[in-house]
Each structure stands twice: as structure tokens, then as C-alpha cells.
């Protein structure tokens, strides 16, 4: 008996009707629907919501696997210190021990993210008697990649519940939300539990516990897990090479470190027409422009070395794309088709402002020198307004074309 017949029997007999949405969601996830069209004219497309979500998940998988290795490797460095010759391509990185450490940390975060998020979606679908959409499959993968690796599971569960209910379901579910759900979850964690979202010990697994254990007489510098942005905010110099930053050989939120894999993911999203290249390109341009402006301010001597903004302003403008979560946010968050601008011109404006504001927040908020999350959420709110004025501008231009180009004087015409 196919899905169509089973659903028909449930509707007719009424037995188990309230679980119809949950059953349909599980069945269509595990099996391909066998309903096909046989007559009439139809427009067939190769893209549906499930395939769209799959195309976003595919480039996230290499980032997830790399993150598992990097989590273990950053713990190794935190304990034993950095040894000369270590790099992304060294044998010290690609070891099973590193992978195992990362997997034991990341897999529980993934499980909690999916169980809580999908569980709430199924509950809302059952109550409201509508289908369970596949939208959270991407958000559930994104969330563990943008939080510190040692985030307590109960804390993540609370944040996911908040993000799904307040950031998504209250607006009507998948396709109706005005804020990116994953970033809503991240913002909740940042404002509700700020000590777990910043600092120099939260980005490397077990660093806080090990520091407390050896505090009486150990070299605490060996237990540092400080991010590059954190170092720059404190006026320190970058201790990593450009290649280390590009390939991801740095501490930070586990999915945001490898610009190389993020770049490949962005190209894949553009190729599959899932992500907007206009948003990605304009966001990069906006970030570079803001970085150039700050570099110009430093070169002009308007900000002196003693200022708390000096180090971040003095950072080479294109280095901003290699550090922090800017690249990850541009590729996987800003291009969310639900919360981003829909018009082509609006996408240029939307993306440019995200990159521009991200670097501005990064420099002027040294207490939390990562602005991409707040910039994207801000532009999520203004995306409908941008589209509105773009559409109104197009309407006005077209109306002008309808007006006669020459206005005759009536009296002169009668003569």
C-alpha cells in the first residue's frame, strides 16, 4: 500500500489522524513518494524543498568532517603547545585520535540540535495539522558548526527550542520566518550565556577544565584557545600564517575556520543555483570596502597605536575574509532564500550592507569582535524594506515611460 492510500485510510477512518503529519514526514524522508501525474499539462521541475535542502547539506559535510579533525588538533596544541612545522598538511593533523576527539564532541551537539529542533517542528505540525517541512535539516546542521565546541548540551537544547519556536514557528513555519533560525539560536546563546560565547578558553575543548586543574604553577599560555579576532581585539599580533587561516588551522567555531572549504561550498551552492552569487559577491565587496576604509584611517594617522581599535583597524583589509565567521556567514547564512532579499538589485544592496556592517561591528565592538551574526540578522529585518523600495523604483521608472516625451502648448497648437 502506497503513501497515498495509507493517508486516505487514516483520513477516512479517523484512527491516528492527529499523527498524520508525523507519519507523512517520516515516510517521505525515508522513501521516495510514488505519486505521479498521468494526464493534463504540467510544469515539471527538478528542484523541490527536499532537494534544495540536500544541496545545502552536501557542502556542509566536508566542513563537518574537517571540523572533527581540527577540534582534536586544537586540543593537542592547547596541551602540548605549538610545534614548528605543524600545518594543515602535516601528519599531526590528520590522525584518528584528533578525529575521535572531535567526533565525541560534535556528534552529541548534532543529535541534540536535530532531536530538539525536529521534535518541536513535529509537535507544531501535529497541533496545526500541516505537513512537516524539511527546512530544519539545514539549520540543525548549521547550529553545531557556529557554536563553541564545549557548549553544554542543555544550553544548546534551550537555545534550539527558542530559535525554532520564536524565530520560526510563530511566523508560520518554514518559508514564513523573517530571521535566519540558526542565527537566531546563536544570538540567543550570545545574549543569554555571554561567558560561554566569548573569551579565550571556550574555543578549545576542555581548556577551561584543564586550566583550573593546573592553575597552581603551570604555564597558562599553553592552555590558550584564543581566536585570532580575540587576539587582535586585545592588541596582540596574529600568530598564524595566511595559509593556516585560509585552510582552517586555527581555533574558533568549528565550522567557521576553513575558508578553503567554505569557498568550495559557496561555488557548489552557486553551481546548483541554491545560493545567490550576487549576495556572496556584494558581501565580500562590502567587507573589503570597509576594511580599506579602516586601513586608510590608520595610514592617515587618525587612530594611534594605543587605541583599542588600532589592531583590528590595522588588519590587512582582505585578511578579514579569512578570520572569524565572516566567510561562513556570507555563504551559508546570508544566502538563505527565505530571509534574504528577493529582487536582484535588492540582493546587491543586502549583501553589500552585510559585509560592510560586519567589519564595522568587528572593529568597534572589541568585547565581541564578530559582527557577521548581528549584521545578517539586522539585514534580515530590512530585506523586505529593501525589496519594497526596489520594486517601487521599478514601477516609477516604468510609469515614466508611459508619459509623452513632448508636451505641447494648447494655444500654440491651435494657431
- 415 part of a folded domain: no
Q: What integer pLDDT is reported at residue 219 of this predicted model? A: 41
- 37 part of a folded domain: no
69 and 63 in contact (C-beta within 8 Å)? no
CA distance 332 to 58: 12
- In total, how many domains does the chain have? 1
Calculate the CA 383 to chain-centre distance. 17
* Cell output for 67: 571540523
Over its length of 415 residues, how does the chain's per-residue pLDDT go in tens digits?
555 555 555 555 555 555 555 555 555 555 555 555 555 555 555 556 667 788 899 999 999 999 999 999 888 887 877 776 676 666 788 899 999 999 999 999 999 999 999 999 888 888 877 777 767 889 999 999 999 888 999 999 999 999 999 888 888 777 788 899 999 999 999 999 988 887 666 778 776 555 445 444 444 344 445 788 888 888 887 778 898 899 998 888 888 999 999 999 999 999 999 999 999 999 999 999 999 999 999 999 898 888 888 989 999 999 999 998 999 999 999 999 889 999 999 999 999 999 999 999 999 987 777 889 999 999 999 999 999 999 999 999 888 887 665 555 555 555 5
194 and 152 in contact (C-beta within 8 Å)? no
Backbone angles phi, psi at 374, to 5 degrees: -70, -35
- 402 part of a folded domain: no
Q: What integer pLDDT is reported at residue 46 of this predicted model? A: 53
- 28 part of a folded domain: no
This prediction's pTM: 0.84
What number of other Cβ atoms are within 10 A of residue 297's Cβ?
16
CA distance 44 to 166: 35
CA distance 254 to 69: 10
Q: What integer pLDDT is reported at residue 305 of this predicted model? A: 84
Which residues form the domain of 236?
49-388
- 202 part of a folded domain: yes
- 21 part of a folded domain: no
Q: What integer pLDDT is reported at residue 214 of this predicted model? A: 44
Buried-state track 106-136, b at ≥16 Cβ within 10 A, e below 16: beebbebbbebbbebbbbbbbeeeeebbbbb
- 13 part of a folded domain: no
- 17 part of a folded domain: no
Q: Among 247, 219, 249, 319, which Cα is nearest to 86's?
A: 249
**Sign of the dihedral defined by the CA atoms of residues 282, 354, 367, 102, in that order:** negative
Amino acid at each position: 500500500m502506497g503513501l497515498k492510500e495509507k493517508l486516505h485510510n487514516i483520513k477516512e477512518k479517523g484512527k491516528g489522524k492527529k499523527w498524520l503529519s508525523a507519519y507523512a514526514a517520516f515516510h517521505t524522508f525515508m522513501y521516495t513518494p510514488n505519486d505521479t501525474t498521468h494526464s493534463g499539462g504540467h510544469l515539471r521541475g527538478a528542484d523541490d524543498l527536499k532537494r534544495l535542502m540536500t544541496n545545502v547539506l552536501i557542502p556542509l559535510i566536508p566542513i563537518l568532517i574537517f571540523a572533527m579533525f581540527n577540534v582534536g588538533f586544537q586540543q593537542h596544541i592547547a596541551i602540548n603547545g605549538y610545534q614548528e612545522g605543524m600545518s594543515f598538511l602535516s601528519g599531526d593533523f590528520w590522525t584518528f585520535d584528533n578525529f575521535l576527539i572531535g567526533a565525541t564532541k560534535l556528534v552529541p551537539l548534532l543529535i541534540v540540535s536535530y532531536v530538539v529542533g525536529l521534535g518541536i517542528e513535529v509537535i507544531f505540525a501535529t497541533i496545526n495539522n500541516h505537513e512537516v517541512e524539511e527546512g530544519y535539516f539545514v539549520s540543525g546542521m548549521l547550529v553545531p558548526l557556529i557554536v563553541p565546541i564545549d557548549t553544554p548540551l542543555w544550553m544548546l537544547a534551550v537555545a534550539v527550542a527558542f530559535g525554532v519556536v520564536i524565530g520560526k514557528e510563530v511566523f508560520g513555519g518554514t518559508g514564513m520566518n523573517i530571521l535566519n533560525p540558526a542565527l537566531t539560536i546563536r544570538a540567543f546563546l550570545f545574549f543569554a550565556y555571554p561567558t560561554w560565547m566569548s573569551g579565550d578558553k571556550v574555543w578549545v575543548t576542555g581548556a577551561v577544565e584543564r586550566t583550573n586543574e593546573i592553575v597552581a604553577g603551570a604555564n597558562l599560555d599553553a592552555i590558550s584557545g584564543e581566536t585570532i579576532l580575540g587576539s587582535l581585539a586585545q592588541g596582540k599580533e596574529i600568530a598564524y600564517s595566511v595559509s593556516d587561516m585560509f585552510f582552517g588551522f586555527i581555533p574558533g567555531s568549528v565550522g567557521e575556520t576553513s575558508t578553503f572549504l567554505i569557498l568550495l561550498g559557496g561555488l557548489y551552492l552557486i553551481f546548483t543555483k541554491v545560493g545567490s552569487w550576487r549576495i556572496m559577491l556584494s558581501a565580500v565587496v562590502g567587507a573589503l570596502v570597509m576594511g580599506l576604509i579602516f586601513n586608510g584611517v590608520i595610514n592617515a594617522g587618525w587612530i594611534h597605536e594605543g587605541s583599542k581599535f588600532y589592531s583590528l583597524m590595522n588588519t590587512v583589509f582582505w585578511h578579514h575574509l579569512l578570520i572569524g565567521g565572516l566567510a561562513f556567514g556570507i555563504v551559508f547564512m546570508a544566502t538563505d532564500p527565505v530571509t534574504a532579499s528577493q529582487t536582484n538589485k535588492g540582493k546587491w544592496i543586502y549583501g553589500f550592507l552585510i559585509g560592510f556592517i560586519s567589519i564595522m561591528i568587528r572593529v568597534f565592538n572589541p568585547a565581541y569582535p564578530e559582527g557577521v551574526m548581528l549584521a545578517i540578522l539586522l539585514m534580515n529585518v530590512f530585506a523586505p524594506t529593501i525589496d519594497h523600495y526596489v520594486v517601487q523604483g521599478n514601477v516609477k521608472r516604468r510609469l515614466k515611460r508611459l508619459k509623452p516625451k513632448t508636451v505641447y502648448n494648447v494655444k500654440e497648437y491651435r494657431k
